[in-house]
Structures are given as C-alpha cells and as structure tokens.
Amino acid sequence: MSHPGTTPARFTLDAAFGVGPVAPRLYGSFVEHMGRCVYTGLYEPGHPSADAAGLRQDVLDLVRELGVTTVRYPGGNFVSGYRWEDSVGPREERPVRLDLAWRSTETNEFGLGEFMDFCAKADTEPMMAVNLGTRGVAEAAQLLEYCNHPGGTELSDRRAAHGAKEPYGIKMWCLGNEMDGPWQIGHKTAEEYGRLAVETARAMRMIDPGLELVACGSSGSGIATFAAWEATVLEAAYDEVDYVSLHAYYEETDGDRDSFLASAVDMEHFIESVVATCDHVRARLKAKKRINLSFDEWNVWYIRRSEAATPPDWDQAPRLLEDNYSVTDAVVFGSMLIALLRHADRVTSASLAQLVNVIAPIMTEPGGPAWRQTTFFPFAQASRYGRGRVLRVEVDSPTYPTARFGEVPLLHATAVIDDETGDVTVFAVNRSQTDVLPLEIDLRGVDAHTLAEHLVLADENPEATNTADRPDRVVPHAAIGTSVTGGVLCADLEPMSWNMVRLSRPQN
C-alpha cells in the first residue's frame, strides 16, 4: 500500500492570498416532498422520539450535528405541481393530492407551517421555492404575502390564524426548479422562463424588496441547452435576480472508478463556465452587480439505478432514491465539497440534495433508528471547521490517467483560515485507489503551525457502508504520522481518502 519513493503532492499556504469568505449558506441542504424525506424521515408522529409536532428528535439531533445552515423546500420537481394553499391550515381540512413528479400521493399532513417549525428547531434558515411550472406570478406573490407580510391582509391574517402571528421573514426564494428539463411539469424554453422569472421577481420585490432571488440555471451541464439557457434567462432577468442555480449529481458508471473519483474536475469546470456566462451577460448589459451561484442540488446519486427501478403506483412516501453510500462515494462527495469551497468567491449558496432518506446523509427506519451515512462526516466536518476565508491552494501533485478527464491530479485540496484565531483547516482528498499520497504543505504564510488533528475517512473495504444494523461501521479515524517540522506539514494520505487537517497558532 505504501510507496516510500512516491513523489509528494505539495502546496503553500499564505494568508495574503485568499479566494473569498465562506458564505454560511454554502452548507445548506434540501428537503423535498418525495419518497421518505419528509414522511417517516424528519416527520413521523408516533415514533418514540417524535415531539408533539411529529418531528423526530433523533433526526433533528443529527441535522444539528450535520451543521445544515439553510434548507431548500418543498422541491425539486415536486414544486412544479405544488399548491401551497393545500399545505396550510387545519390538517384535517388539507386535501390529499396526486404528486405527478414522483407518482406518489401527497397527504399534505406536513406543510409550510410544519416546515417552518422544523427550521426553527433545527436552527436553520428556510429557502423557499415557488411553483413556476403549473402556476405563475400571482400564486408566487400570494405565497410570499402569506409568509412575509406582517398582517392586515387576508393572506397575512390567514397565516396568523394558522398560528404564526409573526411573519416568517423568508429571505431566500428560488424561482421554480429545473425549468429547462423536459421532465419538469410546465417545462419552458429559456425565453419563456426568463420572462416568467423576471415578472415573478418584480412582483415579489414589490411585496418585499429585501428578498434574495435565485433564477433557475441548467439542471446539469450535460443538457443541450446548457450555457445558452443561462445567458438567455439572465439577459431577461439580470437586474431582478441575485443568483443563478446549478445542479450536479455524479455516479460511478461502467466500473470506471478512476473517473468517478475525479468528478470534481467536471464540477469545477461547470462552476467556472456558469461564472463566465454570468459575467459575459454582465458585460453585455453594462451591469454593475455580479450574479452569484446557488449550487442548490449536488451529491453522488446512482441515477441509473433509480431510473431502472419500478416507479411508485401513487403510494404514500414510497422508498425512492435511498442510495446507501460507500466510503468511495464519501470521498467523491468530499471532493465536491472541496470544489464548492475552492469557488467560494462566487458560490455563495449551496444545498446538498437531499437531507433525509432520499440520496441523503441521514437515514431512518419507520419506527426504528436514524443513522449517519458515510457522506455525513465530510459535510459535518466542513460545516463545523470550514468557516472563515478560503485560501488559494495551487496544488503541485502527481497525476493519474482517467478515461473521462485525461490526466488528473491525485490531490484535490482547499484550505480555510479563521482570520480571528489564525487557525487553518485543510480539506484534502487522495484520489488514488491503491497508493498512499505523501503530502507536504509549506506553512510559510500562515501562523498556524501546531497540528490540532488530522482525521481521515478511508477503509480497507472501499465498498463499506453504514446500515441500520451497523450504523458505525464507517467513522472517521485519526491519521498516523502527521507532523509539522520547520514550518512544513507532512502527512501520508491513505488511498481513496477524505482528510481534514486542523492547524492552530502555537500558544505562547
């Protein structure tokens, strides 16, 4: 396993060279009414741990531990058929509806008020999406009035009558979901969507000028309309929106693990292409403001397996997209987090899709336990320690050949400095399936020269997962042999590993 003669990967840290501050919203997630994300996921009245509102405390504890800062809701594809009025008011009066997006039955037992209660208890910011598939400007404005207007109108008083006297004050709103995708209910051309997005945004800002609005970008960089879609939508809506969205999911295909491990190469290229498109439109419009990026769906997702599965037959809370993540998946997932951080100057919002059961870091069984998937750990570590300012990391690394991306550096890394304490946290992935990667970090430009900890997620069995029966099969462990000598950190990164190295200022 170890290769003493292997060329080390190297980089230098200097506090003078920063990328940008880490926006707290980078550590957001996503709750969609689909599968068991809501029902028997975060909400299960009658579960031994449920509170009076039906929220599972075991799940809430894990959500807090995960460190989720925002939660996008209620979809996803679901939002394009969403009638928000169905989800408020007395539960016994709420209608049961067909959810066309996921061929499921939606009882509306859990709705907007319950979601806001969940956000308050999870100490997270809500990020609401409006339906621009089957609905439009009027319904978006009405939902906003219901949520954010203080009172004295039918809709705001309706909210108060439903138990929420104070306005919800939801600041961040998505203008629809994946409207470029032919699978989307109410799918639109870029021209149609751009026009609808700008008119919806204008009406919403008339009610609440302080909103932060996200226009739908492409549902993936592989779609034929990618980049042209963003340009057309932004030409129409530039002045009225603050963000454009990106969605990306990766999976191992055809046994090509080397390419899978390099997925973040594609993700970084995607981010840089959207930044270029936004700035191109900015130049054409002679606009002052910049559009930032909301990477509001990202994850490892075995889409081919999902597509091959039998679709639900209008079941309630069917088991959908319950991917069981391996150590390999967690390493790729960690690399995606690194990609987001490396672009923290423009990616100022992101949502891990999703939060519970559906391609999620947290799994549950109805009436049973809740547990952490392998992907839970990189997210929780980054959310806790990846706060501050991202430093520019220029990696000098040995490479390896991949079928999809050519020669790719074995090391993928980023570093975050806390400017108040001077502490530095490095996140690093070794993409090699077989070899230890020696790492040398020259710390000449930072004061943090004391090693606080080096935690690793790796396993002799890269297929290892956590399950209800063995919830702690995979957990991070302390690295052996990491040291700082003469201002240089030396570590051996295990094959296919996610690493967090924390450095602090020496105490006088």
Query: Smallest distance, Å, CB 270 to ligand AHR?
Result: 15
Query: Smallest distance, Å, CB 100 to ligand AHR?
Result: 12
> For the window 432-471, what string marks contact with ligand AHR as x by the rule CB under 6 A?
----------------------------------------
Residue nearest ligand AHR, Cβ-based: 76
> For the window 51-80, what string marks contact with ligand AHR as x by the rule CB under 6 A?
------------------------xxx---
12-to-16, 206, 395, 439, 470 alpha-carbon distances in Å: 11, 49, 8, 11, 40
Query: Smallest distance, Å, CB 77 to ligand AHR?
Result: 4
Task: Look at the block and give the residue holding tokens 């959207």.
Answer: 274
Q: How far apart are CA 258 and CA 106, in angstroms?
A: 40
Query: Smallest distance, Å, CB 181 to ligand AHR?
Result: 7
Q: Look up residue 185 and give its DSSP letter.
A: T
Q: Looking only at residues 190 through 219 of this chain, which bind ligand AHR when binding is defined by CB under 6 A?
A: 219
- Please pick, from the candidates 106, 240, 297, 323, the single residue that binds ligand AHR as defined by CB under 6 A: 297
Q: How far apart are CA 293 and CA 229, in angstroms?
A: 15
Beta carbon nearer to ligand AHR, 83 or 384: 83
| Radius of gyration over every alpha carbon of the chain, rounded to an integer in angstroms | 23
Beta carbon nearer to ligand AHR, 354 or 425: 354
Task: Tell me which residue of 145, 353, 95 sits closest to 245, measured CA to CA.
Answer: 353
Beta carbon nearer to ligand AHR, 266 or 297: 297
Q: How far apart are CA 1 and CA 25, in angstroms?
A: 39
Q: How far apart are CA 275 and CA 71, in angstroms?
A: 24
Residues that bind ligand AHR (rule: CB under 6 A) add up to a total of 10
Query: Smallest distance, Å, CB 336 to ligand AHR?
Result: 14
Q: Which two tokens stand for residue 35?
A: 């599968």
- Please pick, from the candidates 178, 266, 329, 423, the single residue that binds ligand AHR as defined by CB under 6 A: 178
Yes or no: say if 62 and 380 are a contact pair by the CB < 8 Å rule. Answer: no
3-state helix, strand, coil in the chain (%, to 5): 30, 25, 45
Task: Tell me which residue of 366, 361, 383, 369 sits closest to 474, measured CA to CA.
Answer: 361
Beta bridge partners of 142: none
Whether the bond between 354 and the residue before it is cis, its omega within 30 degrees of 0, is yes
Q: How far apart are CA 102 and CA 444, in angstroms?
A: 53
Query: Smallest distance, Å, CB 399 to ligand AHR?
Result: 32
Q: Which two tokens stand for residue 386?
A: 């990846």
Beta carbon nearer to ligand AHR, 104 or 259: 104
Is residue 128 part of the contact set for ligand AHR (CB under 6 A)?
no
Q: What residues are labeled active site?
A: 178, 297
Q: How far apart are CA 98 and CA 77, in angstroms?
A: 13
- Please pick, from the candidates 22, 29, 32, 430, the single residue that binds ligand AHR as defined by CB under 6 A: 32
Is residue 353 part of the contact set for ligand AHR (CB under 6 A)?
yes
Is residue 296 part of the contact set for ligand AHR (CB under 6 A)?
no
Q: Which two tokens stand for residue 177?
A: 């979901």
Is residue 99 part of the contact set for ligand AHR (CB under 6 A)?
no
Query: Smallest distance, Å, CB 195 to ligand AHR?
Result: 21
Beta bridge partners of 499: 428, 456
Beta carbon nearer to ligand AHR, 352 or 437: 352
**Which residues contact ligand AHR by CB under 6 A?**
32, 75-77, 177-178, 219, 297, 353-354
